[in-house]
Amino acid sequence: MKVLDQLLDEFHTAAAVCLNGVSTETVERAASLLVNCEKCFVCGVGQTGTVARILSMKLNHVGLRAHTVYDEINPPFSPRDVLMCVSQSGQTDTILALAGKAKRIGGSLLAVTSHRASALGDLADQTIVVPPVSTAVHFSALAALGDRGERNLEGAVFGLNIYVLFYALVLTIARLRGESPQSIDARHTNME
């Protein structure tokens, strides 16, 4: 079997197993929180941060005022805003510092993590738990990154899983806001 075929099989299986643990109600509640806020700020670090930046872009496409933390042109965070923190471990120091600041300002905190019982999970108003890598999934191609419990393998699987989850969130927001393909396209950049 070619490595691409193996990866497709491994990622598909991991996503199906992990994301089946995320309820529709959880996604709906998170979407409602985001639809009803004034502004949404998204943060993550490393690979997670890259996927979080994509989410921020897609949230803008469906009509939300979304920003990625650390962009120089961001408006200030206010009590009417939501900070969406993405951290697989729920223990990332940088993310926890930002979460604490958002709470001190009086805003809401939406966490996306693999561990509800974490410092981030404890701070959050709402948490989407993306279960960690399942022992039911056998990794042969991805084993080159390490075994279960190693950051490279877990990060690769978490990154793909949150990418899929974030599209479910964006599609739910689009439905709640009554967006159409045309209204979404109208917000896409034209400076490419």
Q: Report the chain's terminal Cα–Cα distance, integer Å.
A: 38
Please give the Cα distance from 102 to 111 (Å, whole number): 12
pLDDT tens by residue, 78-88 = 999 999 999 99
pLDDT of residue 173: 98
> How far is residue 191's CA from residue 115's CA, in Å, rounded to a whole number?
39
What is the pLDDT at residue 176? 98
Higher per-residue confidence, 138 vs 57: 57
How far is 183 from 176, CA to CA, in rounded Å?
A: 14
pTM: 0.92
Q: What is the mean pLDDT of residues 59-83?
A: 96
Element (H, E) at 76: none
In a domain, 187, yes or no: no
Does 30 map to a domain? Answer: yes
φ, ψ at 126 (rounded to 5°): -140, 145
CATH number at residue 57: 3.40.50.10490
- Show Cβ contacts of residue 155 under 8 Å, excluding neighbours closer than 6 positions: 46, 47, 48, 88
What is the rounded distance in angstroms from the CA atom of residue 5 to the CA atom of residue 2? 5
Percent helix / strand / coil, the chain, rounded to 5:
50, 10, 35
Whether 166 maps to a domain, the answer reads: yes
Beta bridge partners of 42: 68, 84
Higher pLDDT, 136 or 104: 104
**For the chain, what is the mean pLDDT?**
91
% of the chain with per-residue pLDDT over 70: 92
User: Tell me: the pLDDT tens digits for 98-130?
Assistant: 999 999 999 999 999 999 999 999 999 999 999
Answer yes or no: is 175 within a domain. yes
Instruction: State the total domains in the chain.
Output: 1
Q: Is residue 190 part of a domain?
A: no
Give the model's pLDDT for residue 152.
67
Q: Is the pLDDT of residue 92 over 80?
A: yes
- One-letter amino acid identity for 133? V
Q: Is residue 189 part of a domain?
A: no
Q: Which domain holds residue 62?
A: 3-182
Backbone angles phi, psi at 44, to 5 degrees: -170, 165
Please write the tens of the pLDDT for every residue from 10-31: 888 888 888 998 999 999 999 9
In a domain, 169, yes or no: yes
Looking up tokens 């700020």 gives 41
Residue 94 counted as domain residue: yes
CB atoms within 10 A of CB 12: 12
46-52 contacts at long range (C-beta below 8 A, 24 or more positions apart)? 46/155, 47/155, 47/156, 47/159, 48/86, 48/87, 48/88, 48/155, 48/158, 48/159, 48/162, 49/86, 50/159, 51/86, 51/159, 51/162, 51/163, 51/166, 52/84, 52/86
- Confidence class of residue 1 from pLDDT cuts 50, 70 and 90? low
